[in-house]
């Protein structure tokens, strides 16, 4: 039986998603939360077959929530639901590892179709126009390992190497070694440039 978590701070939209899920996966167990912390708590208690994550939660900014969950729970499929459904937002969500993108403007039948596809293992998103560069900063950030991503988020938060090392339970030398890989993948030379690059995680959507 599928276990599906809806993380959205709008009760009416959670209800709409739940209605679509009842049609797409009648046997599924549906859990609801209004925060990123709640989504993380649900993921921590056992396997989740799908997390439906709103990009704009009170405790999550931009794509940082998605990127963090993908780093900490790499086996859990995450589909984005958002009122912002422009090409750039959809592309960035997929670049950061989303299993799908469901616009909040979608009809109930479209939501059911999207959910059925995502639960079947397909990546579902609205039709996109051509023109995205595979070498976008989003794609580069998405290529980071989970540890490298956590370090980049630490840099973005202004934390020192020793603080990041404490957070991750590793030595400061390990952080310095990882930073070399982070800089190389992002195509930057130093911490300041890396922090600027990391703005792709939190640009408003």
Cα–Cα distance measured from residue 20 to residue 119, given in angstroms and rounded to the nearest whole number: 13
Rounded to 5°, angle at Cα 198 from 151 and 178: 30
Q: What is the pLDDT of residues 153-168, one digit of tens each?
A: 898 888 899 999 998 9
Q: What is the pLDDT of residues 37-73, one digit of tens each?
A: 999 999 999 999 999 999 989 888 778 899 999 989 9
Residue 132 has pLDDT above 50, yes or no: no
Q: What is the arithmetic mean of pLDDT over 147-154? A: 90
Cα–Cα distance measured from residue 16 to residue 81, given in angstroms and rounded to the nearest whole number: 12
Cα–Cα distance measured from residue 181 to residue 169, given in angstroms and rounded to the nearest whole number: 19
- Asked whether the beta carbons of 142 and 95 are under 8 A apart, the reply is yes
- Using only C-alpha atoms, what is the Rg of the chain? 17
Instruction: Write down the pLDDT at residue 16.
Output: 94
Domains and their CATH numbers in the chain: 3-119 (3.40.50.2300), 137-201 (1.10.10.10)
Which residues are CB-neighbours of 19 under 8 A, at least 6 positions away? Answer: 108
- Closest among 56, 55, 53 to 38, alpha carbons compared: 53
Q: Which has more pLDDT, 205 or 84? A: 84
Cβ-count burial 156-169 (b if 16+ within 10 Å, e if not):
beeeebeebbeeee
Alpha-carbon distances of 70 from 47, 66, 117, 179, rounded to whole Å? 14, 6, 20, 20
């Amino acid at each position: 039986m599928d276990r599906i978590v809806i993380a959205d701070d709008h009760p009416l939209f959670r209800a709409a998603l739940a209605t679509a899920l009842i049609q797409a996966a009648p046997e599924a167990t549906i859990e609801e939360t209004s925060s990123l912390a709640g989504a993380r708590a649900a993921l921590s208690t056992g396997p989740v077959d799908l997390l439906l994550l709103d990009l704009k939660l009170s405790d999550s900014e931009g794509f940082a929530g998605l990127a963090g969950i993908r780093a900490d729970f790499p086996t859990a499929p995450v589909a984005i639901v958002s009122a912002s459904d422009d090409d750039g937002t959809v592309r960035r969500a997929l670049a950061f590892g989303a299993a799908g993108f469901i616009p909040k403007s979608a009809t109930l039948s479209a939501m059911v179709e999207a959910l059925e596809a995502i639960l079947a293992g397909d990546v579902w998103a609205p039709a996109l126009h051509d023109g995205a560069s595979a070498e976008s900063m989003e794609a580069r950030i998405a290529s980071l390992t989970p540890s490298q991503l956590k370090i980049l988020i630490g840099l973005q938060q202004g934390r020192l190497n020793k603080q990041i090392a404490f957070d991750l339970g590793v030595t400061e030398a390990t952080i310095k070694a990882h930073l070399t890989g982070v800089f190389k993948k992002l195509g930057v030379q130093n911490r300041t440039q890396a922090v600027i690059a990391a703005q792709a995680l939190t640009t408003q959507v």
